[in-house]
């Protein structure tokens, strides 16, 4: 007689009879959502106040930062120069795309999710996104299914640990179910958008839900994390357009969600893992409560907006300083050094010119004599563009931007 195996105890939310009915406690989340809206408004207000050129520069820099982060979450390190080139091309700031096709593919996906947020989201579009991430048809050196959902018979598992001692963190639905699962997700996404003739789901919460739902299906052999974060951005762009049809949906990039998720990557994975498991959900429940996940996402969104506010303030500080420096008729050497100091930032921005500027460093950077360096620095000091700390050999100069805190100076 054949061996009869007992049915496996359901462990994941997609195995629950209520799947995919995801719900959250709107009352419990109200304070967090209000705070998120407040910080979102502050960020967009700051961005609108710094002028078009500076706002475009901030968006460009944050797009690069977001692309680096969304790849780094999956352990992939992108070439920074190729990424900058590709972003510049997408923003029509250069004539040629980046040389790295995989980098350009990620930038295309991120751009399409925002600029074409109102276009129909169907499985074909998602397959094209996934194909753009792997233009060579490989992930590393392994060949993967590209441009189509997974079809392998093996279980799709998220694992960690050494070979033979792997820990299974999550197992997605079998490949045979993926098309049906995606059909339901895409129908829900269409029916809950801001333009839908229903009581709209809060936009930030909707972004959290689509990300969790997509990651739970894990429809592709690779690239699911990057695509899931692009979907969350798309949901946020749709809501931004609904709130203000004149707003540029590309502004979603300045929220910096991927960067914030990378900073708290362990917590991100823990929150996803917790939400995907059947912890405390009664078998007879008619919906799956994912309030803790939505709360984590909303709070992360809030922290991301606060972090981006600092980036925008730094951009405004730099713009005002450059204007002040231009009025002082600085020479080319001085402008080069001031720009180095500005780009290094300050302690509050996570940077700062290590050890401050000295006459010796100035002479080396500008390829000039120490006497000329001393005169240039004295002129900058007299014009209030730098400030001095220390005496004698310990004398150091820092850029004089109000509110900037420089690193401790060492002799």
pLDDT tens sequence across 305-334: 999 999 999 888 988 899 999 999 899 999
Check residues 275 and 169 and name the one with the higher pLDDT: 275
Range with the poorest average pLDDT among 93-107, 165-179, 388-402? 93-107
Q: For the chain, what is the largest distance between any 2 Cα atoms, rounded to a whole number of angstroms?
A: 96
Mean pLDDT of the chain: 89
Preceding amide of 20 cis, omega within 30: yes
pLDDT tens sequence across 30-73: 999 999 999 999 999 999 888 878 888 888 889 999 999 999 99
CATH code for the domain defined by 330-399 = 1.10.10.10
Q: How far does Cα 155 stand from its chain's mean position?
A: 29
- For residue 81, the SS3 value is helix
Question: Does the structure show a pLDDT above 80 at 121?
Answer: yes
Residue 398 main-chain phi, psi, to 5 deg: -130, 155
Question: Does the structure show a pLDDT above 60 at 409?
Answer: no
For 13-314, CATH number out of 1.10.3290.10, 3.30.1490.100, 3.40.50.300, 3.40.50.11060 equals 1.10.3290.10
pLDDT tens sequence across 256-294: 999 999 999 999 999 999 999 998 889 999 999 999 999
Candidates 338, 118, 301, 317; CA nearest to 207 is 301
- CA-CA distance, 373 to 358, in Å (whole number)? 9
Question: Does the structure show a pLDDT above 50 at 2?
Answer: no
- Name the pTM for this structure: 0.88
Sign of CA dihedral 103, 105, 107, 109: negative
- CA-CA distance, 315 to 95, in Å (whole number)? 26
pLDDT at 242: 87
Q: Check residue 139 and report its DSSP letter.
A: E
pLDDT tens sequence across 203-248: 999 999 999 999 999 999 999 999 999 999 999 999 998 888 888 8
Question: Does the structure show a pLDDT above 80 at 75?
Answer: yes
Domain boundaries defined on the chain: 13-314, 330-399
pLDDT at 294: 98
């Amino acid at each position: 007689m054949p061996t009869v195996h007992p049915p496996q105890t359901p462990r994941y939310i997609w195995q629950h009879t209520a799947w995919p009915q995801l719900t959250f406690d709107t009352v419990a989340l109200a304070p967090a959502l209000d705070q998120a809206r407040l910080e979102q408004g502050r960020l967009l207000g700051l961005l609108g106040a710094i002028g078009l050129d500076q706002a475009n520069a901030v968006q460009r820099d944050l797009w690069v930062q977001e692309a680096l982060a969304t790849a780094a979450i999956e352990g992939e390190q992108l070439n920074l120069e190729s990424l900058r080139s590709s972003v510049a091309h997408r923003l029509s700031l250069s004539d040629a795309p980046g040389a790295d096709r995989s980098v350009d593919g990620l930038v295309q996906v991120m751009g399409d999710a925002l600029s074409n947020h109102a276009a129909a989201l169907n499985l074909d579009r998602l397959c094209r996104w996934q194909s753009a991430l792997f233009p060579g048809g490989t992930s590393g050196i392994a060949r993967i299914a590209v441009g189509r959902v997974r079809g392998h018979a093996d279980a799709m598992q998220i694992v960690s640990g050494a070979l033979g001692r792997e820990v299974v963190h999550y197992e997605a639905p079998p490949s045979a179910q993926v098309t049906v699962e995606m059909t339901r997700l895409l129908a829900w996404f269409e029916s809950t958008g801001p333009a839908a003739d229903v009581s709209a789901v809060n936009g930030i919460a909707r972004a959290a839900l689509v990300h969790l739902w997509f990651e739970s299906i894990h429809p592709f052999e690779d690239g699911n994390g990057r695509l899931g974060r692009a979907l969350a951005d798309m949901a946020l762009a749709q809501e931004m357009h609904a709130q203000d049809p004149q707003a540029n949906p590309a502004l979603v990039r300045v929220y910096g969600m991927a960067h914030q998720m990378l900073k708290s990557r362990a917590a991100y994975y823990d929150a996803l893992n917790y939400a995907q498991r059947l912890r405390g959900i009664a078998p007879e429940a008619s919906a799956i409560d994912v309030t803790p996940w939505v709360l984590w996402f909303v709070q992360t969104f809030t922290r991301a907006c606060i972090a981006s506010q600092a980036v925008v303030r730094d951009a405004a500080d730099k713009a005002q300083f450059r204007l002040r420096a231009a009025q002082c008729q600085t020479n080319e050497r001085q402008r080069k050094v001031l720009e180095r100091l500005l780009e290094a930032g300050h302690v509050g921005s996570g940077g700062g010119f290590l050890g401050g500027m000295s006459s010796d460093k100035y002479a080396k950077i500008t390829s000039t004599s120490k006497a000329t360096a001393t005169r240039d620095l004295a002129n900058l000091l007299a014009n209030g563009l730098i400030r001095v700390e220390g005496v004698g050999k310990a004398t150091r100069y820092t850029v004089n931007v109000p509110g900037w805190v420089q690193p401790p100076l060492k002799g």
